Amino acid sequence: MKSDYLIVSCSLNPDSNSRKMARAAFDLLNEKGGAEWLDLRDYELPICDGGAAYSHSNVEIVAQKIRDAKCVLMAVPIYNFDVNAAAKNLIELTGRAWTEKVVGFLCAAGGKSSYMSVMGVANSLMLDFRSLIIPRFVYADGSSFDNESVSDALVKTRIEELVDTAITLTEPARQAKRANPA
């Protein structure tokens, strides 16, 4: 059975740190009942042009994964004080698929100063699609990782807190759906 939780790893870098956080959140969610996984490296997507790009076959695949979820946790690289272009492009391409999702962020950055960088995209999801933004972001710079995984204890705790809050906020929607499947 499909899970209501989707982790989206948005970095296209093979040595990505945000993907390490995505894996940690994915593992935690699997311990607690299950999660789906979407790595943007696995789906070549066109740049959104507001037109023909929407017809690309991979766009429908990733849009359906988002539609199927009730909660989406986005693991994003911070580029130029914003989420990376691949993350923003995904949102541009999939638009209404985000409607009323619970959405959380795990951000990997190079330094400590870009911690508000996700706000632009969080605001747009909230205002465009009534996404419920989890007010508990994970933000980590390069010192929080080893080659394989998240090494910093505080970042690990913050990932656990994000996952627990995601479940707390998503569970009522799951129960409402179960009570009223139509």
- Which residues make up the interface to ligand FMN (CB under 6 A)? 11, 13, 16-19, 77-81, 108-111, 114, 142
Please, what is the minimum distance in Å from the beta carbon of residue 21 to ligand FMN?
8
Q: Cβ of residue 73: shortest distance to ligand FMN, in angstroms?
A: 14
Cβ-based nearer residue to ligand FMN, 87 or 169: 87
Residue 141 and residue 129: Cα distance in Å, rounded? Answer: 29
Instruction: Specify whether the CB–CB gap between 11 and 76 falls below 8 A.
Output: yes
- CB nearer ligand FMN, residue 32 or residue 112: 112
Q: How far is the CB of 144 from ligand FMN (least distance, A)?
A: 10
Task: Answer whether 150's CB lies under 8 Å from 24's CB.
Answer: yes
Q: What tokens were used for 167?
A: 């479940």
Q: What angle do CA 134, 65, 72 make, to 5 degrees?
A: 10
Shortest gap between Cβ of 52 and ligand FMN (angstroms)? 27
Residue number with CB closer to ligand FMN (91 or 169)? 91
CA 48/CA 39 separation, integer angstroms? 18
Q: Considering Cα of 8, then 136, then 172, then 93, what sign does the dihedral take?
A: negative
Nearer to ligand FMN, 79 or 129 (CB): 79
